[in-house]
Amino acid sequence: MNSDAMKNISLSEVLRPQDGLWDYALYVIIFLQVILLAVLFLGSLRDVLFMAAAVISAISDKIYLFGFLDGGATNINQAVEFHTKDSLFTYVARVMMFAFPLVITTQTKIRRAKPLCVILGVGGLVYMFGRWFVQQRPEGIKDFRQPGTFIEDGIYLIHAGTMYLVLLDVGLRSWWKSDKNDE
């Protein structure tokens, strides 16, 4: 990445709403996440770390981090384009934004945090699904099953992973049976 080109991008340009309603929804999510982080601060370290990871994921989504890092963008428009349509890491960050609050809901002992966790989990899920449906899904449909695309490579990875899990299961079952027979 060209460091001279990156010097022309200001923080205010990155934080300014680029994507309309999606950015305002993300501002609300980040605000609620910071409040929840403050509520959880005296609770379990695990909950605080999960919520901190969710906040970092939301901030990385807002500043189009993966457009710059993964996409190699040199200006904000290129970063927004790659980040919102092509980056798998963006999708993973959005999943973390809704999954971690829901995990915290099931584990925290702080009663005041549970309703906010549910609101953030459901809100993050709606946000993630909406952005996927509107921005990433149409791009994926165009690329589906074309040789050399990430989607095709991902399908092969899933097939290989499934095969390894089946082989591991067979191996563990045979080991378990032989261990039981030795007793």
pLDDT of 33 reads: 93
What Rg, from alpha-carbon coordinates, does the chain have?
21
pLDDT of 52 reads: 93
Q: What's 112's DSSP letter? A: T
Q: Is the pLDDT of residue 19 over 60?
A: yes
Q: Is the pLDDT of residue 91 over 70?
A: yes
Q: Across the chain, what does the average pLDDT equal? A: 80
Q: Is the pLDDT of residue 1 over 60?
A: no
pLDDT of 158 reads: 74
Does the global pTM surpass 0.75?
Answer: no
- ∠ CA 77-80-85 to the nearest 5 degrees? 130
Secondary structure (3-state) at 144? coil
Per mean pLDDT, which range of 16-20, 29-33, 111-115 is the poorest? 16-20
Residue that the structure tokens 């490579």 belong to:
153
Stretch 72-82: mean pLDDT = 80
For 137, how many CA atoms within 13 A lie in the half-sphere containing its CB? 7
Closest CA to 48 of 94, 110, 92: 110
pLDDT of 43 reads: 83
Secondary structure (3-state) at 154? helix
